[in-house]
Amino acid sequence: MEGNSWLRRLGKEEFFRQTLSCLAWGWGIKQCGVVRGSPVVEQGYPYNDYWSICDNGGEFHAHKLNSTEPGEAAPYSTFNNVGPGTTAYRLACIMRGEKINWDDFVCDDIVADALQSEISG
């Protein structure tokens, strides 16, 4: 948390909530439940997979349910400018089996404004 200004501003729980909102808003990957305290998200057509996402303290770990493959992680605390939108983009890449472009940063300020507008009504 020490290096990320987004975490300092939002707090860990709100950062996680906004990351999940960005997954739903930007990629159609929506939370559908909770397993052992970790959100479960549904990745719709054409994937039709379910993923557990947990906070490992500095990274969100995505693990496909009913899979023997180890999951992958999207770090959020080691980069100063990684916000919820960028973190959601990286999680979406993991879930889609796409290579993450670590130099690609979603414009987190625009995403945050859009989420705030959606929440406000």
Question: Would you say the C-alpha torsion 5, 2, 7, 81 has a positive or negative sign?
Answer: positive
How far is residue 65's CA from residue 33's CA, in Å, rounded to a whole number?
Answer: 12
- Based on its alpha-carbon atoms, the radius of gyration of the chain, rounded to whole angstroms, reads 14
Angle at 23 between CA 22 and CA 29, to 5 degrees: 150
pLDDT greater than 70 at residue 108? no
Query: Strand 38-43 relative to strand 49-55: parallel, antiparallel, unpaired?
Result: antiparallel
**Which of 3-7, 68-72, 104-108 holds the top average pLDDT?**
68-72
- Condensed to tens digits (0 to 9), the pLDDT of residues 54-99 reads 988 888 999 999 999 888 999 887 666 788 888 998 999 999 999 9
Average pLDDT value for the chain: 83
* Residue 58 DSSP symbol: S
